[in-house]
Structure 1
Amino acid sequence: MTLITPLFSGFLAAAIGTIPPGLLNMTAAKINSKEGRKNALSFVAGAVLVIFFQVAVAVFFAHVIDKRPDVVIVLREIGCVTFSILTIYFWFIAKEPKGRKKAKIKRSSKKSRFFLGMLLSGLNLFPIPYYVLVSITLASYHIFAFENNIIFTFVSGSVLGSFAILYCYIAFFGKIEQKTDYLMRNMNKIIGSITGLVALVTLFNILNYYFG
């Protein structure tokens, strides 16, 4: 297996996970608009440093889980139920989010923004289960292998992908701000659709495991 495949896979997985408007990318964009690009890039550097370790931990857990097919199927069943509940919640229960209010960000040093990036990234636990699922899925299709050089390349690709998307938010935020407001107003339906699709795919895999 060449190292290009895990590098590209990690980059693509990170891009998909970082593109939707979230705490990290929106904060990076706001810091850029209020304090300048240097502080924004310092924030991004702190965020991707933590992402590096989060992806490494996720791949480690994925390696352990991958050796236990019984654990994998249990996790799939739990995931199917969880995503089904989330789909019902976002489609029928959750209130529509209001438009974003422009936040005031006080001017701070690059050092403080670096640690803010680390803090917010550390509080975001989504990357760990996300990359566990991604690496196990890629391994099942023989696109990824739990070997040291491939793991490091995959993690590096994930960091590069995260940095690239966060940088795009910094560079092009003014052009996408109106579209971002539209996405935020319809975020419940978007998230509900994604979780519903994931629930259906997971259910198909479970049925295929038992009856295939």
Structure 2
Amino acid sequence: MRKSLKVLFSGFSISFLGALPLGTLNLTAFDIAASQSVVSAIWFAIAVVLVELVVVRLAIYGNEKLTLTDRVSNYLFPLGIILLLYLAILSFMDASQVSETGPQFTALPEIGSSFVLGLLLSALNPLHFPFWMTWTKVLSTKGVLERSSRSYSFYIWGIGVGSIIALLIFIFLGKYVFSNYQDYSKVTNLFMGLLYLGFSLYLTFLLIKKRLNLKLQ
């Protein structure tokens, strides 16, 4: 039981701390909570975590068994870049349409379901695979994560709880901030647009760097 609690805490700590730095997923949850509702943001968070748990389950099999990882990554990078650019354009368009006394805006009008948005943003994040493969291998090497269904179950539960709690922090902060700032809509749309644009450029840089390294090899 002690080993199970240790792997549970390890999964929780990695996912919780990994979800705290500002990024597209937690700030989108923040934005949905502020612009739409807490319920919509929670559905977004559930979708994000579901995809993450699928990725973790794949990572458990180990790098040597996932021979398609590089091939999948090659598809995820361009798709993720396109989605982020699309969201950036929508955010900038929303920011330009918000007036001082205008109606409440919808952060992502072209994607009506926050659950679907969560699935897309999480599934098309090419950094999920290397992140969880690395940590899974580290924990396995150190003997924290054992080759047993019990150990894997506690590991996955810890990751799920850690990610949900971290996203809930941003969700409730978003709701609190929105209720206290009248100019939230325009500022947040601009900020989210820059965030999506910046991360798409970062992924583009990683993709180009990866392709150049392959050519040099």
TM-score above 0.5, yes or no: yes
Runs of 4+ in 1 over 6 A off after TM superposition: none
Residue pair 1:42, 1:111 contacting (<8 A) in 2 also: no
Residue pair 1:9, 1:154 contacting (<8 A) in 2 also: yes
| Partner residue, 2:43 | 42
1:60 aligns with 2:64: no
User: C-alpha separation between the residues in 2 aligned to 1:53 and 1:168?
Assistant: 23
The AA in structure 2 aligned to 1:58 is: A
1:22 aligns with 2:14: no
Question: The residue matched to 1:2 in structure 2 has which SS?
Answer: helix
Count of paired positions:
146
The AA in structure 1 aligned to 2:50 is: L
Tell me the CA shift for residue 19 of structure 1.
1.0
Question: Which residues of 2 match residues 1-212 of structure 1 at below 5 A?
Answer: 2-62=3-63, 64=65, 105-106=106-107, 112-173=113-174
Structure 2, unmatched stretches of 5+, are 67-90, 96-104, 178-190, 199-217
After superposition, what is the alpha-carbon deviation per residue over 1:62-113, rounded to whole angstroms, capped at 9, x for unaligned? 4748xxxxxxxxxxxxxxxxxxxxxxxxxxxxxxxxxx989653487x9811
Query: Once superposed, what is the RMSD of the aligned Cα atoms?
Result: 3.2
| Partner residue, 1:197 | none
After superposition, what is the alpha-carbon deviation per residue over 1:161-187, rounded to whole angstroms, capped at 9, x for unaligned? 111100111112456xxxxx8xx8xx9
User: C-alpha separation between the residues in 1 aligned to 2:165 and 2:3?
Assistant: 23
After superposition, what is the alpha-carbon deviation per residue over 1:101-137, rounded to whole angstroms, capped at 9, x for unaligned? 89653487x9811111111110112222111111211
Structure 1, unmatched stretches of 5+, are 66-99, 176-180, 188-212
User: C-alpha separation between the residues in 2 aligned to 1:105 and 1:54?
Assistant: 30
Query: What's the TM-score, normalizing by structure 1?
Result: 0.59
| Partner residue, 1:195 | none
User: C-alpha separation between the residues in 2 aligned to 1:9 and 1:62?
Assistant: 20
CA separation of 1:161 and 1:4: change in aligned 2, threshold 3 A:
same
User: C-alpha separation between the residues in 1 aligned to 2:31 and 2:12?
Assistant: 24
Residue pair 2:52, 2:128 contacting (<8 A) in 1 also: yes
The AA in structure 1 aligned to 2:150 is: N
Q: Which moved more, 1:138-147 or 1:151-160?
A: 138-147
Question: The residue matched to 2:121 in structure 1 has which SS?
Answer: helix
After superposition, what is the alpha-carbon deviation per residue over 1:38-81, rounded to whole angstroms, capped at 9, x for unaligned? 1110111111111110111111124748xxxxxxxxxxxxxxxx
User: C-alpha separation between the residues in 1 aligned to 2:130 and 2:7?
Assistant: 18
CA separation of 1:129 and 1:107: change in aligned 2, threshold 3 A:
closer
Tell me the CA shift for residue 150 of structure 1.
0.6
